[in-house]
Amino acid sequence: MKLVVIGGDAAGMSAASQARKRRGPDDLEIVAFERGHFTSYSACGIPYWIGGAVTGRDALVARTPAEFAEAGIAVRLRHEVVAIDLDRREVTARDLDGGGERREGFDELVYAAGAVPVTPDWARVDAGGVFGVQTLDDGEAIHAWLDGEPRPRRAVVIGGGYVGVEMAEAMVRRGVEVTLLERSPQPMSTVDPDMGERVHRAIRGLGIEVRTNTLVQGLETAGGRVTAVVTPDGTLPADIVVLGLGVRPNTALATESGIPVGVTGGLRTDLQMRVVGPAGRIDGLWAAGDCVQTVHRISGQPVHVPLGTHANKQGRVAGINLGGGYATFPGVIGTAVTKVCELEVARTGLTAKEATASGFEFVTASVESTSRAGYYPGAGTMVVKLVAERRTGVLLGAQIVGREEAAKRIDSLAIAVWNRMTVEEMTALDLGYAPPFAPVWDPVLIAARKATDEVHASR
């Protein structure tokens, strides 16, 4: 049997590794194609590497091609799969360095091509200094540009989501003057506006100029380099432009090969990560990672949530099943965390806007508390916001914005959302207490109490 994997990062190599654990080289040959220079790396760590918090590119690489080779997994770096023939059971891969193409037959195929940055037409300029932040190769290119001559002095980051905010901070730490552009009223639109306003203030506190409700019209270039970003309110000088406009599933190859995609643009799979078409499962075809569509466990709607956590889990599930075991991926609830300097931001489940779009009637409750006992040194403030269904009190979502030790409290809230707990049930949660770690009433419990009051009042 022969397994071919398209994509050598988290999902693809997790699938290959799990399949190899269960089936030896004499039973299963595994070949993985990766268009970049690296395998199994942390794309989420790129802003921290660029900003200097992480030293060295190799710190972000979990396993190298040589390590995979020792495990009996052949990796073809700098090879881009350009065609899939499901009838002939073969892929065509182009050698991006040496030229030419090669065909590789397969019995089983894992499509783990990831996601690609959203790149508007105005960003497609033939000039240096315009970057997405998706791959380790992107990170290397940004590093080289920042270290090159002339040294960039002014950066414009377009997009105020996770990547945009993290890259804006990274640029500040590199001594570059930064302007952040966001088309929405607040940056970090993955949280509700009242929470986003707190993030907005924190970004400004770093010395970053933030312009909201701003659309980009184009880029100006000269001498083969970007020089400015054009907006309706004026032209902003720029020596480097970072695109943080989000990503979309990298499924162009799939659609060209006749493989259908879902409403989000991602590949549809069953619980075992087998690709599903109009007539049901497609024999021998699996998918995992940022190229797939999954289901939100609270709204029940199809969603595309590109996170390394999901990619690793989905790849593991596909690999276990490929190897003859049994595993399922039950969906997501949208848990995510990030930081802006010392401010931590976290969310899980549905925001108020998402709950409305899903048809829920709900109440919200927000409380401000401290990360430790108020008298203990280093206690930082945080705001916890809960969204609970009006009639039942079931927790639909939660958000946290606060100082050190705030964000990871989202994990207990994620468990409550995942298990459909009510906010009243949460008030009795047996959470850990000691003055260095939490006040006697943890912020999660205080928020649950307030949300319970709101639910009772709404009945």
Tens of pLDDT, residues 174-216:
999 999 999 999 999 999 999 999 999 989 988 999 999 999 9
- In the predicted structure, residue 404 carries a pLDDT above the cut 90: no
**Cβ(297)–Cβ(304) under 8 Å?**
no
Residue numbers annotated as active site: 44
Q: Are 8 and 40 in contact (CB under 8 A)?
A: yes
* The predicted structure's pLDDT at residue 194: 95
Please determine, for residue 324, whether its predicted confidence score (pLDDT) is greater than 90: yes
Residue 152 has pLDDT above 90, yes or no: yes
Cα distances (angstroms) measured from residue 86 to each of 89, 90, 262? 5, 7, 19
* pLDDT reported for residue 254: 97
Burial of 66 (0-12, 13-18, 19+ CB in 10 A): exposed
Given this model, what pLDDT does residue 459 score?
Answer: 82
pTM of the model: 0.95
Domain ranges of the chain: 2-116+247-322, 119-243, 336-458
From residue 26, give the alpha-carbon distance in Å to each of 88, 178, 285, 316: 23, 55, 22, 21
Angle formed at CA 137 by CA 229 and CA 80, multiple of 5 degrees: 110
- In tens, the pLDDT along 62-113 reads 999 999 999 999 999 999 999 999 999 999 999 999 999 999 999 999 999 9
Q: What's the length of the chain?
A: 459
Asked if pLDDT for residue 16 goes beyond 90, the answer is yes
Distance in angstroms (rounded) separating the CA atoms of residues 189 and 162 = 9
Predicted pLDDT at 113: 98
Dist CA 136 CA 329 (whole Å): 27
The CATH number given to 2-116+247-322 is 3.50.50.60
Residue 342 has pLDDT above 90, yes or no: no
pLDDT digits (tens, 9 = 90+) for 350-366: 999 999 999 999 999 99
| Structure confidence by residue, pLDDT tens digits, 236-266 | 999 999 999 999 999 999 999 999 999 999 9
Helix (H) or strand (E) holding 101: strand 101-105
Topology of 336-458 in CATH? FAD/NAD(P)-binding domain (3.50.50)
Please calculate the CA angle 451-453-457 and round it to the nearest 5 degrees: 115
Class (C level, CATH) for 119-243: alpha beta
Do 2-116+247-322 and 119-243 have matching folds?
yes
Chain Cα centroid distance, residue 399: 17
As a whole number of angstroms, the distance between CA 151 and CA 130 comes to: 15
Distance between CA atoms of 322 and 266, rounded to whole angstroms? Answer: 21
Per-residue pLDDT for 429 more than 90? yes
pLDDT value at position 419? 98
- The mean pLDDT of the chain is 96
